[in-house]
């Protein structure tokens, strides 16, 4: 087998040194063809998913569509469609090949999308407008959707640019996005810029020009060790006085910025077009980036209908969003029906201990280590709860509460995109970036995203199709009813 091994080794070298995603994808396909993974893809049976259920569902949809029966298609889809039907989204299925999955699973997903196209385009003498609207509303709600969560990470946060650059170039950006601390800057850029505008804004040159001097030493004895003026001026130039509602009306993206209270007895807040439509994005991002001790906490601002700028949540100041809500998945689930997450994680407190692999442990030792980790986390939270009650000093109590919040958080999602180990360097966290360091971080973000693009496309294809058609139907309804304020419909199907 020397020839076979040499060919695989050559392909693996191409994978390691690919200059763009197309080159990487072609190498993955070649590797799967040579390694035998393609044979695995072609065989329906597999213990990791219910292939009989999926095969039968495909057959039923094909028969209904061949009969031109939109009503039957709606019934088939509405009766049991969800993102992990028959365990088709199991992480174990990804490990058998470098790209793609079982052909039957891909056929099922494509058949569902074709069925949705058919229903939307059905003659309204057979499936009337309000039947379509009801179907897409109910099915989209039941199916759920994906979100993209961008963690904190200070100087490492420019890694997110590479992640979202890869997703944006392939029209795979979810419409629900959250950002904390450094991640809030990139999330706000996604919320205020269209697809084409992002192509320029996510370049290394643009990022460097805006953030080359974000760290300016202020000195001891001040509210923060660093002067926030350079960062504030950059955020103003990027986002001006745009509110969350105005951003949503422009891009159709539901962008959330998380902030943490600078005092006790307050919970973290998620600022977005639903919870705080009139809040100004610039101040929200500035607050989310206010790492304690490094930057001073921030008073939020809002815009009145008359255009006046006024305090938002007066008498309260807010700080670094990653302290208490680095990845606010549960609250995004309540607000937007999210049930699947894509995480770009650069938080220096979490990344060294994380793996992008979410496959459940297969060995007794693996299960034991996971269980012991959960026990250690629970015991640590208990210890900090006791300590917080025993301490009387307000400042110490607040510090203990923040540390507890950091420990208590979940730092991973369904799909995790992490920096390479050599970029998990604490020295970059608080350093002013160079053009070269930003280029490296963006390139690292792109390369870390490439192995996940096929999975993301597969996992979001149905939900984004549902949302696209639902938004189109609601826009049409608003026009018929004469409503002036129309919801933006992102070009998700490009």
Q: Nearest-CA neighbor of 144 among 336, 274, 328, 273?
A: 336
Could you tell me which residues come within 8 angstroms of residue 278 by beta carbon, excluding any fewer than 6 positions away? Answer: 243, 244, 245, 302, 303, 304, 312
Res. 32: pLDDT tops 80: yes
Rounded to 10 deg, the angle between the 435-481 and 129-143 helix axes is: 150
* CA gap 487, 250 in Å, rounded: 9
pLDDT at 396: 65
* CA gap 149, 397 in Å, rounded: 29
Encode pLDDT of 134-177 as tens digits. Answer: 999 999 999 999 999 999 887 788 999 999 999 999 999 999 99
pLDDT at 277: 96
Encode pLDDT of 235-293 as tens digits. Answer: 999 999 999 999 999 999 999 999 988 765 567 899 999 999 999 999 999 999 887 76
Res. 422: pLDDT tops 70: no
* CA gap 438, 18 in Å, rounded: 19
Cα-Cα-Cα-Cα dihedral sign, residues 229, 230, 232, 233: positive
* CA gap 409, 350 in Å, rounded: 10
Encode pLDDT of 298-313 as tens digits. Answer: 899 999 999 999 999 8
Cα-Cα-Cα-Cα dihedral sign, residues 404, 407, 411, 414: negative
494 or 300: which leads in pLDDT: 300
* CA gap 134, 71 in Å, rounded: 12
Helices (H), 242-363: 244-251, 281-288, 322-325, 329-336
Q: Which residues are catalytic?
A: 181, 320
CB neighbours of residue 75 within 10 Å: 13
| Tally of residues, the chain | 494
Could you tell me which residues come within 8 angstroms of residue 131 by beta carbon, excluding any fewer than 6 positions away? Answer: 74
pLDDT band, residue 479 (cuts 50/70/90): confident
pLDDT at 424: 47
Q: Nearest-CA neighbor of 203 among 490, 453, 435?
A: 435
Please compute the mean of the pLDDT values over residues 175-189 and round it to a whole number.
Answer: 94
CB neighbours of residue 22 within 10 Å: 9
What pTM was computed for the model?
Answer: 0.86
pLDDT band, residue 214 (cuts 50/70/90): low
Over pLDDT 70: what percentage of the chain? 82
CATH topology of domain 145-351+411-453: Cytosolic phospholipase A2 catalytic domain (3.40.1090)
**Mean predicted lDDT score pLDDT of the chain:** 85
DSSP assigned state of 182: H
Residues 245, 251, 254, 255, Cα dihedral to 10°:
-80
Direct distance between the N- and C-terminal alpha carbons of the chain, in angstroms, rounded to an integer: 44
* CA gap 93, 87 in Å, rounded: 9
């Amino acid at each position: 087998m020397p020839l076979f091994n040499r060919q695989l080794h050559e392909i693996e070298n191409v994978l390691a040194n690919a200059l763009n995603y197309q080159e990487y994808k072609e190498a993955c396909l070649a590797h799967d063809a040579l390694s035998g993974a393609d044979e695995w893809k072609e065989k329906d049976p597999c213990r990791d998913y219910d292939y009989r259920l999926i095969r039968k569902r495909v057959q039923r949809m094909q028969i209904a569509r061949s009969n031109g029966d939109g009503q039957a298609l709606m019934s088939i889809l509405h009766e049991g469609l969800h993102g992990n039907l028959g365990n088709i989204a199991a992480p174990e299925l990804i490990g058998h090949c470098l790209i793609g999955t079982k052909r039957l699973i891909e056929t099922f997903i494509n058949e569902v999308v074709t069925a949705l196209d058919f229903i939307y385009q059905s003659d309204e003498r057979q499936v009337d407008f309000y039947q379509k609207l009801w179907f897409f509303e109910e099915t989209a709600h039941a199916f759920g959707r994906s979100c993209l969560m961008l963690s904190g990470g200070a100087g490492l946060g420019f890694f997110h640019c590479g992640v979202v650059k890869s997703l944006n170039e392939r029209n795979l950006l979810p419409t629900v996005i959250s950002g904390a601390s450094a991640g809030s800057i990139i999330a706000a850029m996604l919320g205020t810029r269209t697809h084409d505008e992002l192509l320029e804004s996510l370049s290394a040159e643009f990022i460097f020009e805006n953030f080359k001097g974000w760290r300016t030493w202020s000195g001891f004895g001040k509210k923060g060790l660093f002067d926030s003026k350079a960062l504030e001026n950059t955020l103003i130039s990027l986002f001006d006085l745009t509110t969350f509602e105005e951003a949503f009306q422009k891009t159709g993206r539901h962008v959330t910025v998380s902030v943490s209270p600078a005092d006790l007895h307050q919970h973290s807040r998620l600022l977005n077009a639903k919870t705080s439509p009139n809040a100004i994005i610039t101040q929200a991002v500035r607050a989310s980036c206010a790492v304690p001790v490094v930057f001073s906490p921030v008073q939020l601002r809002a815009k009145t209908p008359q255009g006046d700028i006024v305090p938002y949540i007066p008498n309260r100041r807010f700080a670094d969003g990653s302290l208490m809500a680095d990845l606010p998945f549960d609250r995004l689930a309540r607000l937007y029906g999210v049930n699947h997450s894509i995480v770009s994680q650069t938080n220096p407190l979490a990344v060294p201990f994380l793996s992008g692999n979410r496959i459940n442990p297969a060995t007794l030792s693996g299960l034991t280590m996971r269980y012991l980790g959960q026990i250690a986390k629970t015991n640590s939270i208990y210890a900090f709860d006791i300590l917080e009650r025993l301490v009387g000093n307000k400042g110490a109590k607040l510090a203990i509460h923040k540390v507890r919040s950091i420990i208590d958080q979940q730092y991973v999602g369904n799909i995790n995109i992490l920096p390479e180990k050599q970029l998990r360097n604490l020295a970059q966290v608080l350093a002013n970036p160079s053009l070269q360091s930003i280029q490296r971080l963006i390139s690292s973000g792109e390369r870390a995203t490439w192995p996940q693009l096929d999975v993301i496309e597969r996992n979001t294809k149905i939900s984004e199709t549902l949302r696209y058609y639902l938004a189109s139907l609601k826009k049409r309804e608003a026009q018929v009813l004469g409503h002036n304020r129309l919801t933006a419909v992102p070009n998700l199907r490009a």
